[in-house]
Structure formats: structure tokens, C-alpha cells
Amino acid sequence: MKLYRLCIAVMALMMACALSGTEAKAQQNDEKAKYIFLFIGDGMGSTHVAAAESYLSYKEDKLGGAMLTMTSFPYYGTATSHSANRNVTDSSASGTAISCGEKANNYTLGVNAEGEPIRSMSYDLKDEGYQIGIISTVPINHATPGAFYANSKSRDDYYNISTQIAGTGFDFFAGSGFIDFKGKDQKEEPIDAYLERYGYEVSYGIEEFKKESEGKDKVIFCQESNRSESAGNYVSEGKIIEDATLGQMLDLGLDFFDTEKPFFFMCEGGKIDWTAHGNRTMPMVMDVLEFDDAIAKAYEFYKNNPEKTLIVVTADHETGGLTLGCGDSTINWEKLEKQWLDEGKKNTLSDEDNRKLNQECSIGWTTGSHTGGPVPVFAVGKGAEKFAGRMDNTEFKVKILGE
């Protein structure tokens, strides 16, 4: 009899534990924002943000004080970004750490330091019924967007990375296009035809997208300028003016999604890194402003759904070792802006002339590569308080998933 009672008690206890586990899980899911926006400014250190604000202040005839949307958010933190094998990360290792929550070696995508595939938060969210949108101003198979859906021992294995989209089931992709459109040797099936065979509607330009995405459930937006060809890699002189902006691509995604259901967007401002690699000050500032315009769109959405929305903004690493004030304590924005306007909102100066321009305007760049300092984190909305203070880039996944 005693044994019988003990068994009952143990069983009751086990049931209670199981129940509280389920309850706890349900509660956790409840705590997660229904609408999640993760913005990654590629190469955007704190000084890139400060440079954009300094330029805006100049436009207002002030020495400082102008603010971006991202810097107006109530929670501020910093994230360390070293990779598994280097003090200074590249985009693929840092993208992987942010997306999958584990350190990776430089040049690898979605695999841990042992080379084993690891899981992006996008897949966890997809399993929980979230619609998934991956957006970038650079190619869809580039390192940062790739880190949110692909596993590859090399970030340069572009065609293989693109083909992995087929198996994701993710709802919305947008970017400039695809690098290695027909593979490295130009002998593979064009990537748009390949992905269409797997149920993705691939459209070029906003007009075509609006027509073709109607009634579809999985879509890919590419810039009109990259129809049927490989999207370019590093260009420092600035974007093609006719291209859709990051904000326009986010709008397409928001229109496409059913906002009755939860969603997750990863939006990358990818060209901040490219212009910073080239040490092109004005194009970099413009890329930060374009990035912030997209954040402002998400912020508008947040204001209509403040209880259910989380916006997190960060970077994967700093690029260029940017310094505001290099020699003179006055930054000559007038001269920087004039060169840029005179060239039709571009900077195609030779590296030597560009170096002189930066020097004359008191802007310092110490490198054409990435640097290893901490990157900024800005957050607003449901659960945003978790992003205050110091963190490592492997903590984003857990903080966003709320596990």
C-alpha cells in the first residue's frame, strides 16, 4: 500500500513537472514579440553612426545633436565580435554567430568551428509559425543574408549557397541579386530558373514584383539591374540610383506578409561595409542614412503595434577604423559633400585622391579592412531591455528567441 501511494505521488509529481514545463514554454512563447525586426549594418561601427549624425548636424547648421531613428531607441548596448579563429571577424563568421548563436571561423557560413552545420534562428522561428523575410542591399547569397539560411564551409561557394534557399521554405527574400548567377564556371542552371523549379517566384524590380508576387507564397525580389546576370561584388562608388532602397524592399516584404501572423525580418545594410572598405566617406554616410530610413519604416510599424513588436539594430563588425577628427578638430563636411555632389552623388576618386580628400576634411580611416572593436546595439519594443549593456554576438539568438 505504501509503495502504491509512493508511486501515485511520484506520478503526480512527474505530471506536475511536465505540465509546468509546457506552461513555462507557452509562457516563453507568449513573451516573444509577434513581429521581430533584426537590422544588421554591415561594417557599421559606432563612429559610422556618429559620422552620419555629424553630417546631419552640419546640414542643420549645428556642430552636433542631430539624431537617427536607431539612436533614438531607448536601449543601447555593445556587442563583441571576435570569431572562433580570429580577433577580427569577417561578415560570414559574425553573421553566423548572430544568426546561430555559436562562434564560427572566418570565411565559413552556418557551420561551427569544427565545420559542423549549425542552426539559424530563422529556422527556429519558421518552426514556430513565423513568416521569414531576409533582405539585403547586397546579393542574397552574400555572407550576412546567407548566414540566416545557409550552411557552407566557404562563404565564396555562392552558387551552392543560393541553391540552399530552395530547402528553406522561407517566405520572402530580397537583395540586389545573386553572385555567380550561373555558377563559378557559368555552366550551372541560371539560379532564378533553379529556384522557380522549387516554387519560388523570382522577380526583377518593384513593378514586376508587385505583379508576379500576387497570390504566391514564396517570393524573391532582385534589383532590375541584375536581371539574368551576376550581381556585382565590392563596389565602393555607391549604389545604382534606380535600385530599390532597403526601405522599399522592407515595404514590399511588409505588404507581402500576412500581418495577422507573426513574422521575422533580417534586414542588412550591406553596402555600408563596401563603402567603408573603400574609405569613401560620403557614400558610407549615405548608406548609413539609407539603412536608418529602413529602420524608420520598421519604427512606424512598431508605433502601430508597440506591445507586439521588437526592433533590434546592430552590426557584424566595424570596417575601416573610422575616426572623426584626424588632425583638425573641425570636420569639413562642406568639402566632402561638394566632391560627392559634383560627381553626381558618387565618389570615384583614385585611392590616392580620396585619401587626400579625407585628410583635408579631417576624416581618418586606418585600414581598408575590418577592425575588432565592439559594435553598437540599439533596441526598442517588446523584450528590448535584454539588449542593453555589454553582450557578445553569440547572444542575439537566445535573446531574440527568448529561450
Exactly one of 37, 42, 73, 201 binds Zn ion (CB under 5 A); which one? Answer: 42
Number of helices and strands in the chain (H, E) = 14, 14
Shortest-Cβ-distance residue relative to Zn ion: 91
Q: Which is nearer to Zn ion, 91 or 163 (CB)?
A: 91
Q: Which is nearer to Zn ion, 147 or 311 (CB)?
A: 147
Of 36-44, 215-223, 356-364, 377-385, which segment contacts Zn ion by CB under 5 A? Answer: 36-44
> Shortest gap between Cβ of 43 and Zn ion (angstroms)?
5
> Shortest gap between Cβ of 285 and Zn ion (angstroms)?
18
Q: Which is nearer to Zn ion, 198 or 234 (CB)?
A: 234
> Shortest gap between Cβ of 224 and Zn ion (angstroms)?
25
Query: Is position 91 an interface residue for Zn ion (rule: CB under 5 A)?
Result: yes
Binding mask 313-352 for Zn ion (x = CB under 5 A): ---x------------------------------------
Exactly one of 180, 268, 273, 318 binds Zn ion (CB under 5 A); which one? Answer: 273
Q: Which is nearer to Zn ion, 316 or 395 (CB)?
A: 316
* CA dist., res. 363 & res. 339, Å (int): 14
> Shortest gap between Cβ of 101 and Zn ion (angstroms)?
18
The three-class DSSP label of residue 100 is: helix
**CA proximity to 318, closest of 100, 99, 111, 40:** 40
* CA dist., res. 32 & res. 190, Å (int): 39
> Shortest gap between Cβ of 107 and Zn ion (angstroms)?
12
Cβ distance 366 to 45 under 8 Å? Answer: no
221 φ, ψ (degrees, to nearest 5):
-100, 130
Q: Which is nearer to Zn ion, 375 or 400 (CB)?
A: 375
**CA proximity to 89, closest of 322, 365, 394:** 394
Q: Which is nearer to Zn ion, 98 or 357 (CB)?
A: 98
| Cβ contacts of 73-76, under 8 Å, gap ≥ 24 | 73/311, 73/313, 73/378, 73/379, 73/380, 73/384, 74/379, 74/380, 74/384, 75/377, 75/378, 75/379, 75/380, 75/384, 75/385, 75/387, 75/388, 76/376, 76/377, 76/378, 76/379, 76/388
349: which 3 cell numbers?
Answer: 576618386
Query: Is position 395 an interface residue for Zn ion (rule: CB under 5 A)?
Result: no
* CA dist., res. 336 & res. 332, Å (int): 7
> Shortest gap between Cβ of 315 and Zn ion (angstroms)?
8
> Shortest gap between Cβ of 174 and Zn ion (angstroms)?
18
The three-class DSSP label of residue 82 is: coil
Query: Is position 287 an interface residue for Zn ion (rule: CB under 5 A)?
Result: no
Q: Which is nearer to Zn ion, 192 or 273 (CB)?
A: 273
**Residues contributing to the site for Zn ion (CB under 5 A):** 42, 91, 273, 316
